[in-house]
Structure 1
Amino acid sequence: MNIQDLEDMGCGTSSATKDKKSEKALKAALVIQNWYRGYRARLKTRQRYALTIFQSIEYADEQGQLQLSNFFSFMLENYTRVQEKEPGLVTRLFGSSIQDKDRQDYLGLIEVPDSYCGPRLQFPLTFTDIDLLIEAFKQQQILHAYYVLEVLFETKKVLQQMPNFTHTSTSPSKEITICGDLHGKLDDLFLIFYKMRSVLMPPIPMDGDRAEKKNKLGTTIVAQGIRTSGSFSEQLTKQEWEQVVDILWSDPRGKRGCYPNTNRGGGCYFGPDITAKILNKYQLKMLVRSHECKPEGYEICHDGKVITVFSASNYYEEGSNRGAYIRMSSGTTPRFFQYQITRATCFRPLYQRVNAIESSAIRMLKERMISRKTDLTRAFQLQDRNKSGKLSMGQWAFSMENVLGLNLPWRSLSSHLVTTDKDGNIDYMSGFQDVHIQKPVKEVQSTLIETVYRYRSDLQIIFNIIDSDHSGLISMEEFRSMWKLFKSHYSVHIDDSQFDELAERMDLNKDGSIDFNEFLKAFYVVHKFDKLNKSDNKLA
């Protein structure tokens, strides 16, 4: 063996060592990469679960809004009968609506104090007014109710001039921008304006029963005449109202056919076959719609024929979802632009952002649980035949879904809501240990407390209508009458004596009046401690 042979052997040994080190480094990199991918996937799963909670609770609240609308429809339809039984209440509920008041009559009810430091607007609005308004919003200032009311009157006037349907035309050189729900997200709106090239269309003056006009982009606008005479009931029949509900509350789903939208409580779910049938019937290529928050700001379904676009980023919570808008032109495929306006959380690590979203979602879910504590307890006990205080995971999940109707992954969420023993059985009452409703009167049945808490927003709306003099007070009799009507329509099974007892105890100074706003403040949910702030709590 000569020197060259030894050198060759040495080089070979060195090369093999380097190869082994490179192989170890590569394996280590792959292990880290796989761990990080799994870590991000778990965080994204937790984020999706939180979004599902937010959306399910939002849809359940929409059912409440529809119920409240039905309540007022019920009142109108049964006006004569209700007038005979509760004349005073009906006068308070509908008196201001029946009278023919104009804009100044309403504005005269509101005074702007000298201490108000927000924007003072002049109508019709000028560009200077708009600049003042935008700057005020940027500074988080609140617009006084007087000016809010004036803006609403101006908006009504503009909308009455605009058509129900707007026909637009495009060409390869001219694009249109399609936005979805913004929900008052001013930063998102500014971002879209900054990136889009289309112009805002001014209100279109009506000329006879039909008007047609082109804007600077060559867009054709067709405006149908709008009837303004006659009563509301004459203009909007029951069938028309049902059509409005169907348009507003219907959502696409993967299942074929058309069936009731059980999440929203109004409208329907429609499958890909329904989409294809409608598009073929009217010779259309695609349906672009909104009204559903999507994690990425948009979603494509039904073989690419239905696009959902949602333009409000951080809709439920900071970091909960992206916003998006679409650019389209003739003969091209839609282009999607995503964004997410962030302030406080933009420099936080992903796990901290997900923890914040998750904590907020679970908090809302626990409040929903406590509002139905009596019903949930009854459902748990029916399943717990041995009276052990425990249920299997399946039994608990079934009871939660059956009572709350939120269509959530209860098994995955259980670790955040209840205590589980070593055998996997759930202590079902543990879900109420760290949260409760403030009870102003301990002697009153918990069912009534929960019912008032559950419907507190609806009751407050009705109260504000009854409180026509804006005193913040209503009489005891009106308070009772309001509850009786509400209870009848909502099928609330609570003895009137229980509510009477509560009303009497809430009349602290015994003057025969109820301060309803203070009354509602008593029904806040208290969280004894918040385990969700701990970073080691995870959904996945």
Structure 2
Amino acid sequence: MASNEEITGPVAQDDIEAAEKLKNEANEYFKKQSYNNAIELYTKAIEKNPKNAVFFANRSIANLRLENFGYALSDASKAIELDRAYTKAYYRRAAAYMSLGKYKLALKDFEYVTKVRPNDQDAKMKYNECNKIVKKIAFEKAISVDKKEVNIADSINLDAMTIEDEYDGPVLEDGKVTLKFVTELMEFYKQQKKLHKKYAYKILIDVKSYLQKQPSLVDIKVADDKKFTVCGDIHGQYYDLMNIFKLNGLPSETNPYLFNGDFVDRGSFSVECIFTLFSFKLLYPDHFFMSRGNHETLDMNRMYGFRGEVTSKYTSQMADLFTEVYNWLPLAHCINSKVLVMHGGLFSRDDVLLDDIRKVDRNKQPPEDGIMCELLWSDPQPMQGRAPSKRGVGCQFGPDVTNTFLTRNNLDYIIRSHEVKNDGYELAHDGKCITVFSAPNYCDTMGNLGAFITMNGKDLKPNFTTYEAVPHPDVKPMAYANSFFSMLCQ
């Protein structure tokens, strides 16, 4: 990213024209959803002409699409600094603030636009919509304080839920998940049918009860001659999840899996993904593992579709119960004391030990800094040292940081997810920091492969399987996302 240093002196006409040409090229890449290429060209345009607010605002929206909320925020702010009357830049900054859960700051931007452009109906509408969201969240917070002692899982009365005669879906046997139940559920979901709410609630209550007993860092033992599979982000892409099981076999006691966070949001089959995964967790609790990702959080679910999807397919009460369950998901897993797996990455300090992760009190929404936040949000960088996060949360860490952490904790390497990669995976930091991303053609736009990692217990050598996206029913990604947010990101 180009730095936003102070700009002095006039810009030559040749540079202005060259910058405009680069911007137009970047816009073409943006239209094709090739956001990294677009960002590269917007950056070159900015280098030629750093006084044009449009270049920064355009780079801001490209960064928003890549979830680089920190960069998006910085670029939108720079565009505003260059042109205080540039309405679109305020919208971009508001979208970045909203993505980071800073709704009141987003509201301030809309308020400013309505003041300077009192006749702008679009600005007025966006201000009113954002104001509604801020008030709704304040109301939800007030209720949650009043109901602090209320445990949603304990307040569900399953006995009062009747199974209608016309329900023809899978059935829990004596209230338990069986292999028959899961296999029938997966087929049922392929037909776009809905699991009965009684069974859905029962699964959530049982999963929560199990997860509450787990540590924040789970140790996994894999025998020398046994295979183990690690998958990255799924993001509600149910039919691609089914393809993983087709390629690599269903989870079982002899075919264990770890899914490394971001099971939901963006993809519009998140409910199907999470109930399938939770069913396998209950069926094989010692051979099927799930880590929390940054999208197993309230703010992300509110913006990127999961909360809307659960409310649409079930109830807002169930959406609240999911938040309660996600708070208990483990934050990391350690395979044979040699490979640490977490969703995001490493830390802003060098003295973190595995025991520090074990001690994290995880039953909450992630804070904005510290071990829990960084496990969910951080990213590797090629440069040495650390840098502020492009996402605006967590940190970026270099190969030296990875080496220090591995040496201090007697580990061989780390596996993380959290970032789209063209090949579905990436080896960084001399192969000691591996990214795996399992949602191919992410959001139906990115064109990336998906991947998963297999290894055996003896040498823990990572092997990569990549695959393309498979067809899915015609429900667009983000179909359940906050419509106001989608509007802002146009």
TM-score range, shorter chain: 0.3 to 0.5
Return the index of the structure with the highest Cα Rg: 1
Q: TM-score, normalised by structure 2?
A: 0.46
Q: TM-score, normalised by structure 1?
A: 0.42
- Bigger proportion of residues as helix: 1
